Amino acid sequence: MELLGDPQQMCGVVHITGSNGKTSTARMIDSLLRAHGLRSGLMTSPHLTVLNERIVIDGDPISDEALVANYNDIEPFLAMVDTELEGQGEPALTFFEALTVLAFACFADAPVDVAVVEVGMGGEWDSTNVANADVAVLTSIGLEHVDKLGPTLVDIARTKSGIVKPASRVVSAPQAPEVIGVLVDACEKNEAPLFV
């Protein structure tokens, strides 16, 4: 992202994580932003038919032409990062990591006022967490991906609360008491107000 001039910092960001309802929530937020006259970008996953569904500008999936043009712009930078990673004995960027870079490049190119970005999995270590969200949204959190996120609700909530950034506003669905405790801790640490 740094090599591209940090496109994730070129607009406001609403970042969404949780176990259920992320895409529906993202689409509702996107619709509300557009209803208030803001130009929005939306990144969700997975796609059902075509990749363009994952990157939406102002309510419409990105055009093939814009998708290809933006990919052509970022491809040399992706290749540079892959070469550096492989030289360090680390794996190349994943599909989702490259898609995250592409989405933010598309949002900066459009340009959009606000990007609504759905986490792929978890939060803290997800590639979408390169953004410093103005608003962090947590849908209901339950046991999922325990092999990667941890075996308990508290472990999973800790990982998902990684999207809370300093001074962001945090909006959460009602959660189990142990999850709320984790969110309160994350919000206090980041001086971020929490709205449940």
Cα 43 from chain centroid (whole Å): 7
Instruction: Give residue 177's pLDDT.
Output: 97
What mean pLDDT is reported for the chain? 97
pLDDT digits (tens, 9 = 90+) for 132-145: 999 999 999 999 99
pLDDT digits (tens, 9 = 90+) for 59-78: 999 999 999 999 999 999 99
Q: What is the pTM of this model?
A: 0.95
Q: What's the one-letter identity of residue 92?
A: A
Instruction: Give residue 40's pLDDT.
Output: 98
CA distances from 35 to 12, 115, 125, 187 (A): 16, 15, 32, 29
pLDDT digits (tens, 9 = 90+) for 3-14: 999 999 999 999
Instruction: Give residue 78's pLDDT.
Output: 98
Query: 110 near 39, Cβ under 8 Å?
Result: yes
Helix (H, G, I), strand (E, B) or coil at 7: helix
Share of the chain above pLDDT 90, in %: 98
Q: Give the whole-angstrom CA distance, residue 120 versus residue 96.
A: 8
User: Which whole number is the average pLDDT over 184-195?
Assistant: 98
CB atoms inside a 10 Å sphere around CB 156 = 25
Is the pLDDT at 35 greater than 90, yes or no?
A: yes
Q: Which residue has the tokens 């949780």?
A: 18
Which two tokens mark 169?
């506003």
pLDDT digits (tens, 9 = 90+) for 77-111: 999 999 999 999 999 999 999 999 999 999 999 99
Is the pLDDT at 48 greater than 90, yes or no?
A: no
CA distances from 51 to 73, 129, 154 (A): 18, 21, 34
Q: Which residue has the tokens 């004995």?
A: 89
CA distances from 143 to 46, 119, 185 (A): 20, 16, 20
Q: Helices 64-87 and 95-109 sit at what angle, rounded to 10 degrees?
A: 130
